[in-house]
Amino acid sequence: MTTAAPVPSSRDLPHPTRGEIRLEGVLHALSDPVRLRIVRELAAEGVALSCSHFDLPVTKSTTTHHFRVLRESGVIRQIYEGTAKMNALRRDDLDGLFPGMLDSLLTAAARQAGRHGEP
Amino acid sequence: MTTAAPVPSSRDLPHPTRGEIRLEGVLHALSDPVRLRIVRELAAEGVALSCSHFDLPVTKSTTTHHFRVLRESGVIRQIYEGTAKMNALRRDDLDGLFPGMLDSLLTAAARQAGRHGEP
DNA sequence: TTCATTGTACGAGAGACGTCGTAGTTTGAC
DNA sequence: GTCAAACTACGACGTCTCTCGTACAATGAA
């Protein structure tokens, strides 16, 4: 194998195109506490993260479900990388469609998290 | 009776306090097309509107349901005024809790509406 | 090949949701 | 007192959602 080529593994997953992303779907995806937490962490890290990186209060089956909801609503992009599945925020698409919305939602989530419990 | 006093009629409805409003609940409330439409219209008019002012593609029972979801999530405030029930956006509370979020959501909704169908 | 890691598929259960229709209550006007 | 208008309550329905457990598939390493 060569060195740096990010060879994408075989199987790939269905994603909505930018034009297919619906505001209602995005809001629904973010209205679940587990998913909102995932998105907050993705935004905070700024890079793609594997599913197993997250320490969520649900089983693996349920985790898979939540990541699928996020993907199908257009919030994240998922690609296989070896045995891991990497998840990245679709920032470009969301910012292109709804300028400023994602950031104000993330800010709102951070404020709420700050008010209650964890900083 | 006197002339201009906005005498509030007897029965009143349960509303969450500002501190009880949860982001997830607000996002869930706005993730339904009918409710998003109601909120957009309330924001556009800027004043309280009666339920019957809206021409929605659902029955009156369902309309009542949607207004209740909006009220219980903290998005709107409802007060009876005679036989009508007036609905107003809780702008102050939402802006206080989540600065800028409501406006960016409304802008996002307007952009999406502009892209598809009606201007 | 064997094995551990990572994640999926499938089915199931409990509950919430969006929708409706019918019957009822409250209010204000006549 | 009567009546129409505005809205609610309640029950029902089909669907979707969140959750889980078990069994399975793909990958990379030993």
Task: pLDDT tens for chain B, 119 residues: list them.
Answer: 333 334 444 578 999 999 999 999 999 999 999 999 999 999 999 999 999 999 999 999 999 999 999 999 999 999 999 999 999 999 999 999 999 999 999 999 999 999 987 66
Q: What is the pLDDT of residue B116?
A: 83
Nearest nucleotide (C1') to alpha carbon of B83: C27
Residues facing residue A101 across a β-bridge:
none
Q: Is the pTM of this model over 0.85?
A: yes
Q: What number of H helices and E strands is found in chain B?
A: 5, 3
Alpha helices in chain A (DSSP H): 23-30, 33-45, 60-72, 91-97, 101-115
Q: Which of A22, A97, A104 has its CB closest to that of B101?
A: A104
| Side chain identity, residue A13 | L
| Side chain identity, residue A46 | G
Where do we find the tokens 């400023």?
Answer: A100
- In tens, the pLDDT along A17-66 reads 999 999 999 999 999 999 999 999 999 999 999 999 999 999 999 999 99
* DSSP 8-state secondary structure symbol assigned to residue A54: -
Q: Is A47 left (phi over 0), alpha (psi -120 to 50) or beta?
A: beta
A7 has pLDDT over 80: no
Q: What is the pLDDT of residue B7?
A: 42
Q: What is the pLDDT of residue A8?
A: 42
Distance, in Å, from the CA atom of A39 to the CA atom of A88, rounded to the nearest integer, reads 9
Cβ under 8 Å to A: B residues 11-70: 22-25, 27-28, 30-33, 36
